[in-house]
Chains A and B, each alone.
Chain A
């Protein structure tokens, strides 16, 4: 960045939330939202690494048509455990529990979340659920697929289903508590002057996410509890032999698990909405539309679940309705993409690392979103249902979208979280590596799926080998892209240069306090008297762009 060379060297504040108290107790019993974010960071990084190892084994296994590494039974366990670790213990908590926890009070000018003790409790609930699942992994694994379809999961599977579903049941309450805490915090803890339409879009995205946490998670909790009861006490809720209905399980499961996709992507969209205007040096285009589209995605997202079940024999009219509603989700999603691109238009763009992730996100999310429309189409879905096309589609959303957003956000706020700068050049290399590796991994899988390779199979016909080898090659590049940030982030905590309060510079309230912030976040309760993302009228930030008053007819806000 050009300005860093001329700016005076920053120093770390003498006392901040990281050094105000010492010792393991001060971390494990903390109620400081910023430290709880670190606890979550440790948790999700562990599960991400675990899920990544499973993914690596899957990709190595699929190098040859008959499978290279493991037995078919173990292969079933690998993809199941990959899904469970990644979805329930990494993707769902990742951005909300790490970045959201750290940033929401800072962004709205509060000292902490509304219920700090509940916040700590939700981490312990997460860890307890995680321990159950790890116990399941270690004692027999899990081979039902992350979807736990009955009666395979409730009766026939020989793996450790009961501890796993109990673990996910427990983990659900962590999500519920986090969502509850966020909604209340956003409602009641805003600083004077921080009106609803001055809230950063990151907050709007988390508000929408929290609604899904609150309304969706209890349903999966009760459903998995019923599966656990069915398995341990031999009841028959979902077992057709005993008069139960397995399709009912699928309805209940997807009622949560489809909105859960939006739990993963909405916070990432919030991150992107912060990064884009910062590095385009322009006010965000269509603030209200982006904010409202987050809520719209959360609401419509609750009415599309049965598009996972087009092939279960559900009524054609139900399928038509769900297909139409699934198409509707594309509208608020497209609103976001158009607004981000419009923000870039005529901006003075700089390609700092967070921006590279944000630009990557837009492209990958576009591909992931548009291929979602293929799957929402009733006729086409019959052809590509349960193929690698689906795998590629949701990895474009979850990895290309959610993880790109998560990493972009980590890079963007790392100076705030740690007070240190990471090595910029290395970070850019990592971002590009990730982008290339990701596309090489999952691009070929679209082709494989379209050619008919089914998901969850441990072997495949020889003609699919070239694309599978390409995919595995991409996965190894992707792995480097993940390892690099882990290394240089860790390095920067100790050896990085002091970042100063506002290194980019950006307009959010979180950048007005020291980096790292003091325990109570702000020395004095801030009063907000500016509009969000007002990069044109903030000479106090030292932005080089001259203040050019716009002609009234072209007013953009």
Chain B
């Protein structure tokens, strides 16, 4: 860490006055830009560590319950549309790529490309949230929202509402009967399936909330980037919000198999 000589540090202070919080890109509490960048980056990594533990509580709750009610979880998991989940996974990984590109562009000083890639990232993030909305709506139609007239048997009882027919419907019915017999009645199946869907909505909802926060951060980055604020010397916000974005992406990489792929062969 480079440290300004006392006299130099004093100069900055007397010129700008003590109560001026910032001198250019440098905030008043720091001595050098490197120190400022190190602090911001370390801060973001620590924040991400807290996020891991925050999600960790949900992952633990998921593991315990899946262990206890594996068959119901597997059945419930298969009612979620794999197609949308898979598309979303691709979309999100794509957005991580564009985010990484914008960080690189900021570091090498391609100012226009920074903005472009940030806008692309925001667009892909919005596509993800839109698809998530479609999926949630399907769950609403199928009566799979916990606490809101939840009924795992709704689709087999009203096949047309869920678009079920033919062999698929028969297979569903057989498996659901088997499940009901093993779990000890439809009430138990519904209770355990509600646990799955509570976790599904809790985990994907918390993830989506992080996406929404990320989108807000991206918008602020885009506005700053349009003003040409990010240069090879000063690009910490792009880097750190990039870290955050990748983290949210990684959470999804874990959520996708845990929620969608439990029982697909």
**Which A residues are within 8 Å of any B CB, using their own CB?**
20-21, 31, 110-116, 176, 180-181, 183-185, 187-189, 192, 214-219, 221-223, 226, 229, 233-237, 241-245, 248, 252, 518-520, 524-525, 527
Contact = CB atoms under 8 A, between A and B. Distances in A.
Nearest to A188: B39
B6 A520 contact: no
Given A236-B191, A236-B194, A252 B57 contact: yes
The prevalent SS among residues of B at the interface is helix
14 contacts: A114-B29, A114-B39, A180-B43, A229-B202, A235-B195, A236-B191, A236-B195, A237-B61, A237-B65, A243-B191, A243-B194, A245-B68, A252-B57, A519-B18
Q: Nearest 10 CB-CB pairs, A to B?
A: A222-B57, A218-B54, A112-B29, A218-B53, A114-B39, A188-B39, A235-B198, A524-B6, A243-B191, A242-B191
Given A180-B43, A525-B3, A222 B29 contact: no
A264 B29 CA distance: 29
B177 interface: no
Given A115-B43, A176-B50, A244 B195 contact: yes
Interface in B40-95: 42-43, 46-47, 49-51, 53-58, 60-61, 64-65, 68-69
B31 interface: yes
A248 B192 contact: no
B9 A524 contact: yes
Interface in B1-58: 1, 3-4, 6, 9-10, 13, 18-19, 21, 28-31, 35, 38-39, 42-43, 46-47, 49-51, 53-58
Nearest to A248: B64
A290 to B, nearest CB: 24
B166 interface: no
B21 to A, nearest CB: 7
B226 interface: no
B57 A233 contact: no
Nearest to A114: B39
The winner among A110, A222, A524, A525 for most chain B CB atoms within 10 A is: A222
Contacts of A223: 57
Contacts of B147: 233-235
B29 A248 contact: no
A524 to B, nearest CB: 5
Contact of A113 (B29, B58, B188): B29
B57 A184 contact: no
A236 B198 contact: yes
A214 B18 contact: no
A237 B13 CA distance: 56
B146 interface: yes
Contact of A183 (B46, B58, B195, B198): B46
Contact of B61 (A115, A221, A226, A518): A226
A92 to B, nearest CB: 16
Contact of A192 (B3, B38, B54, B60): B3
Contacts of A21: 19
Contacts of B60: 248, 252
A525 B9 CA distance: 8
A183 B28 CA distance: 19
A114 B43 contact: yes
Contacts of B35: 188-189
Contacts of A518: 18
Contact of B198 (A237, A525, A527): A237
Contacts of B47: 180
A252 B146 CA distance: 23
Nearest to B72: A243
Contacts of B29: 110-114, 116, 189
A222 B58 contact: yes
B57 A243 contact: no
Nearest to B4: A525
